[in-house]
Amino acid sequence: MLMTMLAFIVINNKNNGVVHAHPYLIGDTQCTTPHPTTRRHAHGAPTEDASITFLVSWTNPEGSNAEALGENDPERVIPESWSVGGNKYCKSCRLTLTVRHTDQQTYKELVTVSSGTLLEQGRNMDGQLNYGDGAKCSGKRYDAGFQSNVHHYIWTAPNGDVGPITVKVTGASGQTSQFKTNAVTLTYDEAIKEAVENSQQPSAPPGAVNPFEGLTDDEAVHGSQGKSKSVRIIVAHGGIMLFSWMVFPPILLYAGRFKENIFGKHWYLVHKYTVTLMMLFVVTGLILANRYRIDTLGRLKGIMRSRHGIAGSVTAFCWFVQPVLGYFRPPKFLEVGGGATTTPNLKRTVWMWMHRSVALASVLFSIFAVRTGLKDHDPEMTFGEEAIEEIWNLNFFITYVVLAYICIPILLEILSRKRGKSTRQYSHMELEMGDLEVDT
């Protein structure tokens, strides 16, 4: 167990050295010069890459500042007809800046604008903030964790002509790839606004239709080979944790409650070694979760920002507290003069209730952690919303709890009492036989 914990610490420290594996992990406070200029860890110094192209488009077909249904889909396709006709901006216009890597590799990016405001759509550019913020530096910078060769940034231009505006991007396609960078200059042109207003395009009611639905981009590549690896890692984490929290706690409950009547004279060894085995599983699951966050987010920061992270952390904490409580277990009876008495030890009673309370908390939080872990992750994985509804739904967990913590314990209680009664009768018979032998 000590070696496992040491391995966990070593892996954490090793992974912390990879915090610059993605360009957006440069400190959030660096707003004036956020782009790397030299080699960082495994990444080579950035080079200007003409294969990175830029396109300025309207965010909706009318060219208005209204939100478009589907604009939080990072894989959406912007129609060519929405282009403003060049690298231009207009007063307070809500535009989409599309960064495309024509080398067909997928990237995570750091994007900056010298003026205007980038819309917050989350680290994964899907409108969700559970994996961290994307927009930084008052909207002048965006840290994009969505891995693709095409990224769409919604940008609101400044309220007037502020002169040329620079849009710069730095991308990395992997943990050891070279940084690639490019920039474009936008010029003020109010005529683009007048052109779209005079086009007399029929406008749809806001939010009535998804203008991106059915559109395809044959050159777009989303995700990477690393994504499938990350999916396997988090699926393994989920499988190990699910097995651990559904199999081991009931066994520990049964061993601690029914002792030798069900598990024989070695019941305590069953209890102790099951605890040890479960700790190995839990530590392995934590290592996998650690590895997943490093692969997908580049760091461990933000674990406690999700409900699954909170529930899982509380569950793991409860579980690591249990062996510590077990080590300080008071004797069952008071000891006087170095010898045990038949007087119950109050400390043992208090300890027992603490032990049971922590166990109950770990079970409750583990069920919540499993539910949120399945529900909060990418539905494209082998689990998600569909699995929640069809397999790991509320009916399943109610059935599991009733079976594991009510029905089976009742059956074992009946069996335990029968065996206990038989044992007491056998002991009484032995005692009577012994008395007869003495009399003779």
User: Which residue matches tokens 């651990």?
Assistant: 244
pLDDT at 201: 57
Q: Where does a domain end: 178, 197, 216? A: 197
The token pair that represents 427 in the structure block = 């002991």
> Are residues 180 and 57 located together in one domain of the fold?
yes
pLDDT top residue among 392 and 46: 46
Average pLDDT over residues 301-323: 82
> Are residues 81 and 174 located together in one domain of the fold?
yes
Q: What burial class does residue 124 get, using C-beta atoms within 10 Å of its C-beta: 0-12 exposed, 13-18 middle, 19+ buried?
A: buried
pLDDT at 390: 63
pLDDT, tens only, 82-139: 999 999 999 999 999 999 999 878 888 999 999 999 999 998 899 988 777 889 999 9
> Are residues 107 and 232 located together in one domain of the fold?
no
CATH number at residue 48: 2.60.40.4060
The token pair that represents 365 in the structure block = 């939080």
> Are residues 188 and 241 located together in one domain of the fold?
no
Inside any domain, residue 216: no
Contact 308, 372 (CB under 8 A): yes
> Are residues 230 and 188 located together in one domain of the fold?
no
Inside any domain, residue 16: no
- CB within 8 Å of 273: residues ≥ 6 apart: none
In the chain, % of residues over pLDDT 70: 76
Contact 36, 170 (CB under 8 A): yes
pLDDT, tens only, 182-233: 999 999 999 998 888 776 555 555 556 788 888 888 888 876 544 456 677 8
Give yes or no for residue 157 having a pLDDT over 90. yes
Average pLDDT over residues 408-413: 93
pLDDT at 197: 78
Give yes or no for residue 411 having a pLDDT over 90. yes
Inside any domain, residue 204: no
Report how far residue 82's alpha carbon sits from residue 67's, in angstroms, rounded to the nearest whole number.
14
Nearest to 83 by CA among 50, 57, 108: 57
- 303 pLDDT band, cuts 50/70/90, is low
Contact 199, 85 (CB under 8 A): no
Give yes or no for residue 337 having a pLDDT over 80. no
Report how far residue 251's alpha carbon sits from residue 173's, in angstroms, rounded to the nearest whole number.
46
> Are residues 285 and 172 located together in one domain of the fold?
no
Give yes or no for residue 4 having a pLDDT over 50. no
* pTM recorded for the entire structure: 0.54
Nearest to 191 by CA among 305, 91, 81: 91
> Are residues 276 and 369 located together in one domain of the fold?
yes
pLDDT at 228: 56
Average pLDDT over residues 310-337: 85
Contact 314, 361 (CB under 8 A): yes
Report how far residue 341's alpha carbon sits from residue 331's, in angstroms, rounded to the nearest whole number.
10
Inside any domain, residue 21: no
Inside any domain, residue 425: yes
Inside any domain, residue 24: no
> Are residues 147 and 250 located together in one domain of the fold?
no
Q: How high does pLDDT run on average in the chain?
A: 80
Domain count, the chain: 2
pLDDT at 295: 66
> Are residues 70 and 162 located together in one domain of the fold?
yes
Q: Where does a domain end: 197, 212, 247? A: 197
Q: Where does a domain end: 147, 178, 197? A: 197
> Are residues 176 and 259 located together in one domain of the fold?
no
| C-beta neighbour count of 244 within 10 angstroms | 21
Q: Domain range for residue 164?
A: 31-197
Nearest to 57 by CA among 95, 87, 21, 105: 95
> Are residues 118 and 231 located together in one domain of the fold?
no
Average pLDDT over residues 16-31: 50
Inside any domain, residue 6: no
- 13 pLDDT band, cuts 50/70/90, is very low
pLDDT, tens only, 358-382: 988 988 888 888 878 777 665 445 4
- CB within 8 Å of 225: residues ≥ 6 apart: none
> Are residues 397 and 325 located together in one domain of the fold?
yes
pLDDT at 203: 56
302 φψ region: left (φ > 0), alpha (ψ -120 to 50), beta (else): left
Inside any domain, residue 95: yes
The token pair that represents 124 in the structure block = 């994964």
Nearest to 272 by CA among 315, 330, 316, 327: 327
Length of the chain: 440
